[in-house]
Amino acid sequence: MEEALLKKTRNLIASRIGLLVREQDVAMLHRVVAERVRVLNLSGAEQYCQFLETDAGVRHEREELVIPFTTGETYFFRDSGLHALLRDGILPELIEHRKQAHALRIWCAACATGEEAYSLAILLDELLADQLQWNIFILGSDINRHAIEKARRGIYTEWSFRGMSCERRQRYFQRHKNTWVLDESIRSRVTFQTGDLVADVFPDHGAQLYDMDLILCRNAFIYMDHDMVSHIVDKFTETLTDGGILIAGHGELYAHHLGGLHARVFPEAIVYQRVASPIFAQSTAALVKTDVPVKLPVVFLAERKALAAAPVLPQQQVAVEAGQVSEILLVWKLANQGQREMAAKACSEMIARNPLGAEPYYLMALLAQERGDFAQARDLLKKVIYLDHSFIAAYLDLGDLYAREGDSARAVKMRTTARDLLKRLPADQQVKLYGAATVDKVLEYVEHLLSTSTQ
């Protein structure tokens, strides 16, 4: 395709399909268009463009275009930090919130082959002793029909169990030759259906897309046009019940409007809640051992227990309580409780007393990201790196910001530096601000980021 036609095709795919074709995807676009021209028996790429300009063409080609440019990679309990937050904080709070109705509605959007939806069903099985007394609806949806068919079968290979303990696998799966078959008691609790986040209208009672207590849509927005992400977030908001929670992938909603959602900052993740007064009045329960890196700071178990028990303090009292838990952890408690201005002020006071300490700048950078001030977040993260050249989390977060802005070169540079720093450390050493995640696990995560950014 000539340059003008290439640009027109990319713009059409962004506006009509909602898919952002990045520079590194252009070669793939040439191959996909050539194949679609052949299959549809068209004269060439220009006629294919004309086809995409029609409503019928968009409906026909949506799945054919989305699948090649997105990764359906997933596995059970992917991101153990988030699943610990779900197990210890979010799900128990939602259960408490809905205990009068004994009903819970969950939607895993863009669920690929179903591992995430089944992971939630397993968590609820472990949390609810009286589950038979509850009306629990778990829905998994994806645009890929073949992935949904696999999800319904509930049969998986070893590759899907990278985040699941052997104990859980033995409890919920049966070995069959070279595969593992999910127990029917769990499989029957999840409903799967094809769905298109861009084209479908929701809330939709006919499709069971209404009054959701929890929506997970992780690692889907990274492929989408900015305006389309905002449009889908609006639809998600309307599909949540009062107090319902949306969880996206780390950093996916940076620079996007939240509409009627309220951001809640936890060390494990940022979640978005549709409610005037958040359900989460307290910090989440202590995070236990993580097997893969999480993307926001995770404090250690003993400190988290002390932190959860600590009272909410005005900023002028933060310093005097440092004998029980560190000052920085108390600042995190303020942020967890939604008192972000107070947390930022406490960080500023810490910096005034010790301007060479890197960690308060890092916390302020995360708070800046959460409120949408990405220019300040970048400046603060650069300050962190200037003060501490070995601050791995700052390099990775700065790389995420650059990636979201489309500056792949700087993103790769930051992630490469983080990788080089990790390689200098013992493989079994824990990484600062990544909880129990060890160097080898964080390194695996960074290598994945680098490999996907160069594809």
End of a domain among 39, 69, 99?
69
Same domain (yes/no): 106, 208: yes
Same domain (yes/no): 127, 209: yes
Predicted pLDDT of residue 102:
94
Contacts of 94 (CB under 8 A, 6+ apart): 104, 213, 214, 243, 245, 279
Same domain (yes/no): 331, 240: no
Res 319 pLDDT > 60? no
Residue 190 sits in a domain whose CATH number is: 3.40.50.150
Q: How confident is the model at residue 284 (pLDDT cuts 50, 70, 90)?
A: very low
Res 121 pLDDT > 60? yes
**What is the amino acid identity at position 64?**
E
Q: Is residue 279 within 8 Å of residue 295, measured between CB atoms?
A: no
Residue 330's domain spans which residues?
301-453
Res 290 pLDDT > 70? no
Q: How confident is the model at residue 117 (pLDDT cuts 50, 70, 90)?
A: very high
Same domain (yes/no): 196, 56: no
Q: Give me the residue label for tokens 């909603």.
A: 253
Tens digits of residue pLDDT in 194-223: 999 998 999 999 999 999 999 999 989 888
Predicted pLDDT of residue 65:
92
Predicted pLDDT of residue 21:
87
Residues pairing with 204 in the sheet: 209
Same domain (yes/no): 7, 133: no
Would you say residue 280 lies in a domain?
A: no
Res 392 pLDDT > 60? yes
Question: Residue 438 region, left (φ>0) first, then alpha (ψ -120 to 50), else beta?
Answer: beta
Q: Is residue 401 within 8 Å of residue 377, measured between CB atoms?
A: yes
3-state secondary structure 381-442: HHHHHHHCCCCHHHHHHHHHHHHHCCCHHHHHHHHHHHHHHHHCCCCCCECCCCCCCEHHHH
Residue 10 sits in a domain whose CATH number is: 1.10.155
Predicted pLDDT of residue 320:
36
* Tokens coding 119: 């992971």
Res 182 pLDDT > 50? yes
Would you say residue 127 lies in a domain?
A: yes
Q: What angle do CA 270, 323, 348 make, to 5 degrees?
A: 50
Same domain (yes/no): 164, 93: yes
Provide the domain count of the chain.
3
Tens digits of residue pLDDT in 260-282: 888 887 767 889 999 654 444 33
Predicted pLDDT of residue 244:
95
Predicted pLDDT of residue 255:
62
Would you say residue 295 lies in a domain?
A: no
State mean pLDDT over 398-427.
89
Same domain (yes/no): 328, 429: yes
Check residues 454 and 216 and name the one with the higher pLDDT.
216
Mean pLDDT computed over every residue of the chain: 83
**DSSP secondary-structure letter at 312?**
P
d(CA 212, CA 273): 11
Q: How confident is the model at residue 42 (pLDDT cuts 50, 70, 90)?
A: very high
State mean pLDDT over 88-110.
94
Same domain (yes/no): 197, 313: no
d(CA 371, CA 420): 31
Q: Is residue 161 within 8 Å of residue 131, measured between CB atoms?
A: no
Res 347 pLDDT > 70? yes
Same domain (yes/no): 264, 331: no
In percent, the amount of the chain with pLDDT more than 70 equals: 84
**What is the amino acid identity at position 441?**
K
Tens digits of residue pLDDT in 43-79: 999 999 999 999 899 889 999 999 888 877 789 998 8
Widest Cα–Cα separation across the chain: 75
Q: How confident is the model at residue 28 (pLDDT cuts 50, 70, 90)?
A: very high
Predicted pLDDT of residue 437:
67
Same domain (yes/no): 102, 232: yes
Give the CA distances from residue 342 to residues 34, 134, 264, 318, 417, in Å, rounded to whole numbers and listed in that order: 56, 40, 15, 10, 33
**Cis peptide bond N-terminal to 360, omega within 30:** no
Query: Which is it for strands 270-274 and 240-248: parallel, antiparallel or unpaired?
Result: antiparallel
Res 380 pLDDT > 50? yes
Q: Is residue 335 within 8 Å of residue 322, measured between CB atoms?
A: no
Residues pairing with 227 in the sheet: none
Predicted pLDDT of residue 188:
96
State mean pLDDT over 359-386.
87
Check residues 289 and 225 and name the one with the higher pLDDT.
225
Res 300 pLDDT > 50? no
Same domain (yes/no): 228, 364: no
Predicted pLDDT of residue 80:
82
Would you say residue 360 lies in a domain?
A: yes
Predicted pLDDT of residue 454:
57
Res 312 pLDDT > 80? no
DSSP string, 234-296: HHHHHHEEEEEEEEE-TTTTTTS--TT-EEEE-SS-EEEEE-SS-S--SPPPPP---SS--SS
Residues pairing with 138 in the sheet: 106, 190
End of a domain among 69, 102, 122?
69
**H or E stretch at 135:** strand 135-142
Residue 316 sits in a domain whose CATH number is: 1.25.40.10
Predicted pLDDT of residue 333:
65
Same domain (yes/no): 63, 86: no
d(CA 367, CA 170): 41
Would you say residue 281 lies in a domain?
A: no
